[in-house]
Structure 1
């Protein structure tokens, strides 16, 4: 309630000095600007000037009190309320005396409908208008980028909505461009419109507008015509996360994607990255499985090759081992007989000179010398035997028939015996030709002998 003592003025000219009308009205308006108010009443005497400004009166239903009001064109369009006689509204603003006429007017900063009946009627009218314009058409709406990175977010910095959003947003490298806005009351729509206009200058992949649920009256700011047009004309897709009780807010209908909670918005943003993670895991499993199969195949090939090498080595040992054993036994027997003779010589020499110390000493020296010579001779024999064995092994390997077969040669067999000469076969004889990878059976159809070439 405004009191008369709220308007006490102190004039710089002194208490008794008169002041001009203009100076008085200027001082009065300065004081009135510090007295903002919210006023409820019925609309009447509406006049829309050619400039777009709206002039109307606001009166109480139960008495004759009248307040003249003016709302400037930009504000009138911003709140999206079409004034009608008898409509009950709430206006917010400050009083001001219009100096040329000396009349008091209420300068309206915001206005809102009163009662859900009026709000619902306005909602239906605006919805029908925008539907006919195609603002809510599915074919107009834009698809979201598959992987969103830069996200504009408009909502209140206070409350559970922004906290739920940030807590549920995945760690996928999102870059948030945040704009604080009021989400209820007459200032909600202007704040969201200003936020969208500010974010136009940012390189965004999408914009999210959010608030919690509420009644039709508390959500009236999202049934604003200018806000819908800002959403439709925004250069990036708009996601609406606006809770609602019954009727979907017009801002959500105009958005490219609409869900009812901030958590659902985060699920929408997280989903492509989560699917990509599952695909990467699936491909990793497939690659690992193929790699394991590849290694198992290599292991089986190595096992097969190792077995084949051992088989060939065993066959080679069986074929040539006995020859090496005979050579070794002969060499060992020869060495044993030699050293036995040396031992007998030493024994005879020792017994022949055993009676005298000098002879014994000489015999010991002789025996020691013979022992050293015997050891040296034994070492030399071993070295020669080892060299002989290695040379024999290399010689056997060099003449390995399978090695010749691998080089492209073949072996001809007749009746289980190797054909060494053309004279060993005759026409019509059955022969087998052995190659590196198999054998060929055939009949001899002719025999020709090569004449011996005389050495040059």
Structure 2
């Protein structure tokens, strides 16, 4: 029999004995309260700090049933009870952690908590500071599932269903890259040139919820032009699918601006995430087949369009062939007309050539007569030109300065280079230049006499 106080605390002395207690055959284990070589003395505050520091070095996981539950603004206070011996553990969880769980906790639920032991110093109260919670047991999981389903259904989150986009090409997928799910999904997609963008996320465990919600936000922020967002995982029990029966995940899916498909394998109850999504399928493979249906209109109407194109093409060919025949006939008519004109021109040229040939003798005779006349006229003209040139030569020889110089005359120029024609063109003392037939000399004017 164990003695507990009102808050379910075990006295430290008893806790120490229980921790140090060993079963037969077990190897000795190191304990928190193992005796040390040297004695240490603590203050109460220092000792509690030491214990909290030692407890906080490791995360512990504890399973049990919620026996009491109180949700306060300062945090969530509840107790976990052991079914076997009615042991009780006081627990505390911060408001932020509780909001991030996406689970509505109630008394009687079986849960698995992760956290660290902690002693509240002002009261000396021992409690378990919870950092993560998972539901365990089919009853608790089903109870939480039904409660969340009723809540979201009353809010209308299951009613909005956006239509599947037509001709889907860009697909965002959220699932674990290590499983076979993504390969099955890709294999069932038809070869339509679709592009798949995978965001790796855990689909089971305590880290599944934050990773799935983070992936949904990432696609909506970084790739808002996606045609569809697909969240898939293989089958599993209600406990395995806790992340997809989570309120936070459900609201994130509902808030996605990109249309969503949830392909989550399940047995009886459809996951909450699938109920909130725009489209729900029971397996990832069926999700891929659903995407293939976005191309149905093309597959159905393509043969009709193909037939229309062929018929239209054949009609156009017939029309063009008739046009070619018409144009060819017109060209042949033009060619015949050209041939006729060619023959007429040829006859006219031949007739003209015959006429020219008949008159060739007359033309040759006239050419000879004209040549003689031209030659005679040229000879007479040259003679007249020669006579004129002789007369010009005689005249020039008579007036040439060179001739006068040869006769003893000279040409006098003043200092300005001007020809001296009278005494007024020179001055006394000026040097003048006299040009003779052979050579020249310079003289000075000594005296000027005017007549």
Above 0.5 in TM-score?
Answer: yes
Match of 2:114 among 69, 76, 92: 92
User: How far 1:225 sits from its partner (Å)?
Assistant: 1.8
Verify the 8 A CA contact 1:9 1:27 in the aligned structure 2. Answer: no
User: Tell me, what secondary structure is at the counterpart of 2:152?
Assistant: helix
Q: Which residue of 1 aligns with 2:166?
A: 146
CA distance in 2, matches of 1:250, 1:63: 35
Match of 1:156 among 172, 176, 179: 176
Q: Which residue of 2 aligns with 1:219?
A: 241
Match of 1:209 among 225, 228, 231: 231
User: How far 1:387 sits from its partner (Å)?
Assistant: 7.4
Q: Which residue of 1 aligns with 2:133?
A: 111
CA distance in 2, matches of 1:64, 1:388: 130
User: How far 1:236 sits from its partner (Å)?
Assistant: 2.0
1:52-91 alignment, distance < 5 Å: 53-91=75-113
Q: Which residue of 2 aligns with 1:241?
A: 263
CA distance in 2, matches of 1:300, 1:171: 42
User: How far 1:56 sits from its partner (Å)?
Assistant: 1.2
User: Tell me, what secondary structure is at the counterpart of 2:280?
Assistant: strand
Match of 1:43 among 44, 66, 69: 66
User: How far 1:94 sits from its partner (Å)?
Assistant: 2.4
Q: Which residue of 2 aligns with 1:29?
A: 52
Would you say 1:252 and 2:274 are equivalent positions?
Answer: yes
Higher Rg: 2
Verify the 8 A CA contact 2:65 2:82 in the aligned structure 1. Answer: yes
User: How far 1:185 sits from its partner (Å)?
Assistant: 3.3
Structure 1 spans left out of the alignment, 5+ residues: 315-385, 393-456
Relative distance call for 1:109 and 1:303 in structure 2 (3 A) is same
Write the deviation string for residues 204-258 of structure 1: whole angstroms up to 9, x where unpaired.
Answer: 2332111112222222321112221222122222211111111111110100111
Verify the 8 A CA contact 2:73 2:95 in the aligned structure 1. Answer: no
Write the deviation string for residues 67-96 of structure 1: whole angstroms up to 9, x where unpaired.
Answer: 111122222233344333333322222222
Verify the 8 A CA contact 1:152 1:199 in the aligned structure 2. Answer: yes
Structure 2 spans left out of the alignment, 5+ residues: 1-17, 21-28, 337-341, 349-451
Match of 2:220 among 190, 200, 206: 200
Relative distance call for 1:48 and 1:203 in structure 2 (3 A) is same
Relative distance call for 1:10 and 1:274 in structure 2 (3 A) is farther
Match of 2:188 among 138, 144, 168: 168
Verify the 8 A CA contact 1:7 1:31 in the aligned structure 2. Answer: no
Write the deviation string for residues 306-352 of structure 1: whole angstroms up to 9, x where unpaired.
Answer: 799999x99xxxxxxxxxxxxxxxxxxxxxxxxxxxxxxxxxxxxxx
User: How far 1:156 sits from its partner (Å)?
Assistant: 1.2
Moved more, 194-203 or 230-239: 194-203
User: So what's the TM-score if we normalise by structure 1?
Assistant: 0.59
1:231-380 alignment, distance < 5 Å: 231-273=253-295, 275-276=297-298, 279=301, 283-299=305-321
User: How far 1:158 sits from its partner (Å)?
Assistant: 1.3
Moved more, 94-103 or 295-304: 295-304
Write the deviation string for residues 173-232 of structure 1: whole angstroms up to 9, x where unpaired.
Answer: 555443322212344333322322333322323321111122222223211122212221
RMSD in angstroms over aligned alpha carbons?
4.0
CA distance in 2, matches of 1:388, 1:129: 104
User: So what's the TM-score if we normalise by structure 2?
Assistant: 0.60
CA distance in 1, matches of 2:99, 2:310: 63
CA distance in 2, matches of 1:166, 1:236: 20
Relative distance call for 1:26 and 1:150 in structure 2 (3 A) is farther
CA distance in 2, matches of 1:307, 1:269: 57
Q: How many residues align?
A: 321
